[in-house]
Amino acid sequence: MASTTAPGFGEKDKEVQQGDTGSVGSDYVFSSGKGEVFSLQSIDPALNSKMHLVNNAIDEIGWTGYHYKLFVLNGFGYAVDSLLLLLQSITQSQVNLEFNPPFQAGLTIALYVGLLLGALFWGISADIIGRKYAFNFSLLICSVFAISAGASPTYNSLAFFVAISAFGGGGNLILDTTVFLEYLPSSKQWLLTLLACWWGIGQMVAGLVAWGPMSDFSCATVETCTYQNNKGWRIVFYSLGGLVLLMSVARVTVIRLKETPKYLLGQGRDREVVETLQWMATKYNRPCSLTFEQLDACGIIHSSRSKNKVSIHELTIHFRGLFLTKTMAWSTTLIWLSWALIGLAYPLYNVFLPDYLKSRGAALGVTSNYIYWRNYAIIQMTSIWGPVLAGFMCKNRYLGRRGTMAIGALVTMAFLFAYTQVRSNAQNLGFNCAITFSLNIYYGCLYAYTPEVLPSAHRATGNGVSVAFNRIMGIVSAIVGIAANTSTSVPIFICAA
């Protein structure tokens, strides 16, 4: 796949497409100089030249304490996204026992509808009004409604609170990678893949928090299930919702996020671009030779915005910007397809993982709630290390992003097919750990690869639509899970395929 028309920029977020050959490896062949594969020189030479100057300034400043804070605080968003998925997954069976709804997958669909709308809203709005607002407020919305969900008196109210909470958290995958990438120097580009380890941390925390309450405060049958003897799922909602609230407070107190230079540049706010980079250089005692006069001399940007921000024309500009050339159009289409496919496979496995563990555990003679939730927590711990390995694999010049994703996908497929043949409790736990680990290698790379191959002026929009396709297929997965029966191996075969 390595060619001058390959659909991918590689490692550096450069609208100019003039990038960093050192951090990408043999995966990519760049255009000129310090460039990326897709050049906008013929489309908007002013933007092309200005982005080149800004990228050089970011590299000149290098890695700072500000980036450490961004790694952690953006990582919170990753953790919350995975935590939301598992929160619904963990509690769904006990919720169904207590409320006995006519449609058993209602919470799954409510969750994915919220995530879908959140991805589109936060993604598109981030290219119009900026990255900062979504970064500051999305987790707060998510936490308030997650806590409220724990006090839900009816199934319908619970589904509503879950959907609104998911709407708040639905833009995190988009904004976290976008904000982090738009501040990263090229030498640290691999950290964008490593950032996905926070996804695993969110899964681990959800599993550990659920272990105690779900083991000790859960009813067994619909007939005996009451509010009093089934408080475990409510405790999990309160606990994880409270944790997300603390994360949202940290986002606005530990760091005062400044709007990203790449967004400001696309909006024609050159003076603010220089002020932001000079502020960072001064605060961390780093050099920065970029001046307003240098940017101003490049001319006026015409391709990335309209005069009226809130308009159909503005939306059209951001969508059209993803298909400016045949190569960019092909790249965008393949990225969206990749997100759609993994959007079916991942939730079909992970969201229904408690069902698989319970059904296979029972078939193998394991009926203890304690053992069941212990195994669940152990499996989620392994998800941290997939992105860690992926981060180092991406640095290998012979693998790059696409080679790492291919390995992750193939290994996951092999383990999923093997899982259908488990014959012991140890195999049940071991194969689930292996699947979770390898699946997160693929996911971690896809998270990083997506914003890298999208032009920065339209990055949040393209990323938001990618995640939206993922969420649409998540809704489909809920229907497939019911139709295929999660107590059988059919959903696992579908995931593997």
Convert the pLDDT of each residue in 343-375 to its tens digit. Answer: 877 776 765 655 665 665 555 555 577 777 788
Whole-number percent of the chain with pLDDT over 90: 26
| pLDDT tens digits, 390-406 | 888 888 888 888 889 88
Closest-CA residue to 12 (of 137, 192, 138): 192
- How remote is the C-alpha of 201 from its chain's centroid? 13
**Which residues have C-beta within 8 Å of that of residue 380, sequence separation ≥ 6?**
86, 200, 203, 204, 206, 207, 208, 436
**How distant, in Å, are the alpha carbons of 101, 109, 286, 458 from that of 265?**
51, 39, 21, 12
CB under 8 Å to 276, separation ≥6 — which residues? 258, 259, 261, 264
Strand partners, 35: 18
| 232 has pLDDT over 50 | yes
What is the reported pLDDT for 357?
A: 59
pLDDT at 477: 76
Q: What tens digit of pLDDT does each residue of 160-191 get?
A: 999 999 999 888 878 888 889 889 998 888 88
**Quick one: pLDDT band at residue 324, thresholds 50, 70, 90?**
confident
Burial of 273 (0-12, 13-18, 19+ CB in 10 A): buried
Mean pLDDT for 249-256 is: 86
> At which residue do the structure tokens 């490593």 appear?
194
What is the C-alpha separation between 60 and 357, in angstroms, rounded?
51
The C-alpha atoms of residue 172 and residue 200 are separated, in whole angstroms, by 15
How buried is residue 418: exposed, middle or buried, by Cβ count under 10 Å (0-12/13-18/19+)? Answer: middle
Joined together, the tokens standing for residue 282 give: 């001064």
Among 137, 86, 176, which residue's Cα sits nearest to residue 450? 176
Among the residues of 129-154, which ranges form H helices?
Answer: 132-150
Return d(Cα 415, Cα 359) in angstroms, integer.
Answer: 18
Helix (H, G, I), strand (E, B) or coil at 35: strand
Which residue, among 194, 183, 201, 177, has the nearest Cα to 80 in the 3D structure?
A: 201
Q: Which parts of 284-424 fold into alpha helices (H)? A: 292-296, 312-320, 326-350, 353-363, 369-382, 385-394, 400-419
* Predicted local distance difference test score (pLDDT) of residue 306: 53
pLDDT band at 14 (very low <50, low <70, confident <90, very high): very low
pLDDT in tens, 69-122: 999 999 998 888 888 878 888 898 899 999 999 888 788 889 989 999 999 998
Phi, psi of 18 (to 5 degrees): -135, 60
Helices (H), 267-311: 270-283, 292-296
Distance CA 237, CA 429 (A): 26
Q: How does pLDDT run across 195-216, given as a tens digit for each residue?
A: 988 988 988 898 889 888 988 8
Provide the pLDDT for residue 351: 59
Helices then strands, each counted (H, E), the chain: 21, 0
According to the model, what pLDDT value does residue 497 have? Answer: 61
Mean pLDDT of the chain: 80
Nearest to 354 by CA among 220, 179, 487, 450: 487
Q: How far apart are CA 198 and CA 208, in angstroms?
A: 15
- At 234, is the pLDDT very low, low, confident or very high (cuts 50, 70, 90)? very high
